[in-house]
Amino acid sequence: MSNLPISADLIAEHNAVRTDALEDDYAALGRKLARTGVDIAAVKARLADFSVAVPSWGAGRGGTRFAKFPIPGEPTNIHEKLADCAVINQLSQMTPRVSPHFPWDKVSDFAGLREEAASLGLGFDAVNSNTFQDQPGQAHSYSTGSLSSTIEATRQQAVEHNIECIEIGRQLGSTDLTVWVGDGTNFPGQQDFVRSLDRYLDAASQVYAALPDDWQMLLEHKMFEPAFYSTVISDWGSSILAAQELGPKAKCLVDLGHHAPNMNIEQIVARLHRFGKLGGFHFNDSKYGDDDLDSGSINPHQLFLVFNELVEAEANPRANEREGGFNPSYMIDQSHNVTDPIESMLSSAEAIAQCFAKAVLVDREALHEAQASNDTMMAFQALRRAYNVDVSPIIAKARAEAGGAIDVLAAYRKSGWRQRKAQERKAVGLGAGIV
Ligand code: AFD
Ligand code: MN
Ligand code: MN
């Protein structure tokens, strides 16, 4: 049974008055690209196949350590979050999977939740465990660590929680477990660097042992926060070492915000791919640290360079990569503090698709030739030419052909979705918290 949140008529009416202009722009771009030997229809086909998952926690307004400013009509539970994610997918036709977080999204009937998602046109992406926060009634606190805790019972509790997440994920149809731990220290000397990593690896290997054959365990590194002096899985180096030690089903997940400022993240992507260890991506943007700003809002060029590596990797799969070649799970991971989360994710999906399309447009033959002959300027220009193309007509046309809206934000505002939900949903409490 289909239960799509936005009426097909609304989208059709919205598109009807925009189709002529879009066809015009698409045809003009098609002629321009044809002059360089690029078939616009082939690029559109790549976009039609492209998708990125959205995080269930991104459907609500995030917050900072200081405050949270909820908006009327915000989702208050996983059912409402799914409905909002369905709006994003219906309009963008690019976000068909939701990544849930436990225990935040816990329900009593996961088979029912899977059906509910399917009726909204959604499936589930990676399941996320949460051992960075204590829950009411929890036996052992994570205040000094979880998988790397010095206390055995705490480590065991964290292992069991991750195994429970795998069990839930099996019922939801997921095939990835993303593990991000907040474990680390705030003071020099607080913990022994070597022994804490030993404890993490020992506990993580117990989680790894519980993975079904076709599953992956994605290790998400993060340089700082909540621990500000050291973090157990702090960088891509620690992450790949841990993934190599755990085994072939363990891969690294790159969150764009989890690196030192000015880090060459595109090179990290290439490194992880070289060893068959790039398992997933969390898209967002940052100005200073783990700001979780909207994808491409601060540095769209960096996002393009990351996609340039991803498209290159796809064309050249390495050993150890998932069956079917290079296929990392792409996901948005943002915190929306001052915008309507649906609008932020629609805008982010667009920014991500633009960078992907531009990366597809790179003349790889010209790039490789220039690289081989050390023609620095022409190598750079191969990237620059693609980056300068306005690919928005290709994305809009691919989206409209799939049943989405030509102008996603205008269609969303016209739908009055949030105002309607403001009447129906109960208010979210105040408070603070980084998600
Ligand atoms: C964190 C990490 C990680 C985690 C999420 C939870 O990026 O993805 O699961 O936020 O709020 O900063
Ligand atoms: Mn993340
Ligand atoms: Mn983060």
Q: Which amino acid is at 350?
A: E
Q: Which amino acid is at 308?
A: N
Question: Across the chain, what does the average pLDDT equal?
Answer: 96
Q: Is 128 in the pocket of ligand 1 (CB under 6 A)?
A: yes
Q: Is 161 in the pocket of ligand 1 (CB under 6 A)?
A: no
Q: Is 291 in the pocket of ligand 1 (CB under 6 A)?
A: no
Q: State the average pLDDT over residues 82-107.
A: 98
Token pair of 143, please? Answer: 């205040």
Q: State the average pLDDT over residues 299-308.
A: 98
**Which of the residue ranges 144-148, 265-269, 305-309, 323-327 would you say has the lowest mean pLDDT?**
323-327
Position 58 confidence tier, pLDDT thresholds 50, 70, 90: very high
Q: Is 102 in the pocket of ligand 1 (CB under 6 A)?
A: no
For residues 151 and 166, give the distance between their C-alpha atoms in angstroms, rounded to a whole number. 23
Instruction: Summarize pLDDT for 338-375 with one digit per residue, the tens.
Output: 999 999 999 999 999 999 999 999 999 999 999 999 99
Q: What is the model's pLDDT at position 433?
A: 63
Instruction: Summarize pLDDT for 126-141 with one digit per residue, the tens.
Output: 999 999 999 999 999 9
Tell which residue, 4, 5, 3, has the closest CA to residue 421.
5
Tell which residue, 426, 392, 404, has the closest CA to residue 88.
404
Q: What is the model's pLDDT at position 187?
A: 98
Q: State the average pLDDT over residues 282-308.
A: 97
Which atom of ligand 1 is nearest to 225's Cα?
12
Residue 58 burial (CB count, 10 A): 29
User: Residues 268, 254: contact at Cβ < 8 Å?
Assistant: yes
Whether 321 has a pLDDT exceeding 80, the answer reads no
Q: Is 285 in the pocket of ligand 1 (CB under 6 A)?
A: no
Q: Of 323 and 161, which is predicted with more confidence?
A: 161
Whether 316 has a pLDDT exceeding 80, the answer reads yes
Position 275 confidence tier, pLDDT thresholds 50, 70, 90: very high
Q: What is the model's pLDDT at position 119?
A: 98
For residues 283 and 258, give the distance between their C-alpha atoms in angstroms, rounded to a whole number. 11
Percentage of the chain with pLDDT > 90? 93
Whether 323 has a pLDDT exceeding 70, the answer reads no
Helix (H) or strand (E) holding 274: helix 265-274
Q: What is the model's pLDDT at position 295?
A: 98
Whether 432 has a pLDDT exceeding 80, the answer reads no
Considering every ligand atom shown, identify the ligand nearest to the alpha carbon of residue 100 and give its number.
Answer: 1
Q: Is the pTM of this model over 0.95?
A: yes
Q: Of 323 and 9, which is predicted with more confidence?
A: 9
Q: What is the model's pLDDT at position 326?
A: 85
Q: What is the model's pLDDT at position 434?
A: 53
Residue nearest to atom 11 of ligand 1 (CA): 435
Residue nearest to atom 6 of ligand 1 (CA): 435
Q: What is the model's pLDDT at position 403?
A: 98
Position 2 confidence tier, pLDDT thresholds 50, 70, 90: confident
Position 319 confidence tier, pLDDT thresholds 50, 70, 90: confident
Residue nearest to atom 10 of ligand 1 (CA): 435
For residues 404 and 397, give the distance between their C-alpha atoms in angstroms, rounded to a whole number. 9
Considering every ligand atom shown, identify the ligand nearest to the alpha carbon of residue 259 and give its number.
Answer: 3
Phi and psi at residue 278, to the nearest 5°: -90, 105
Which atom of ligand 1 is nearest to 178's Cα?
9
Which atom of ligand 1 is nearest to 435's Cα?
11
Q: State the average pLDDT over residues 295-301.
A: 98
Which atom of ligand 1 is nearest to 257's Cα?
7
Q: What is the model's pLDDT at position 428?
A: 86
Whether 74 has a pLDDT exceeding 80, the answer reads yes
Whether 30 has a pLDDT exceeding 60, the answer reads yes
Whether 304 has a pLDDT exceeding 80, the answer reads yes
Q: Is 44 in the pocket of ligand 1 (CB under 6 A)?
A: no
The DSSP 8-state label assigned to residue 150 in this structure reads S
Position 107 confidence tier, pLDDT thresholds 50, 70, 90: very high
Which atom of ligand 1 is nearest to 101's Cα?
9
Q: Is 180 in the pocket of ligand 1 (CB under 6 A)?
A: yes
Residue nearest to atom 2 of ligand 1 (CA): 180
User: Ligand 1: which of 54, 178, 239, 255 to mutate, most ligand atoms within 8 Å of CB?
Assistant: 255
Which atom of ligand 1 is nearest to 253's Cα?
8
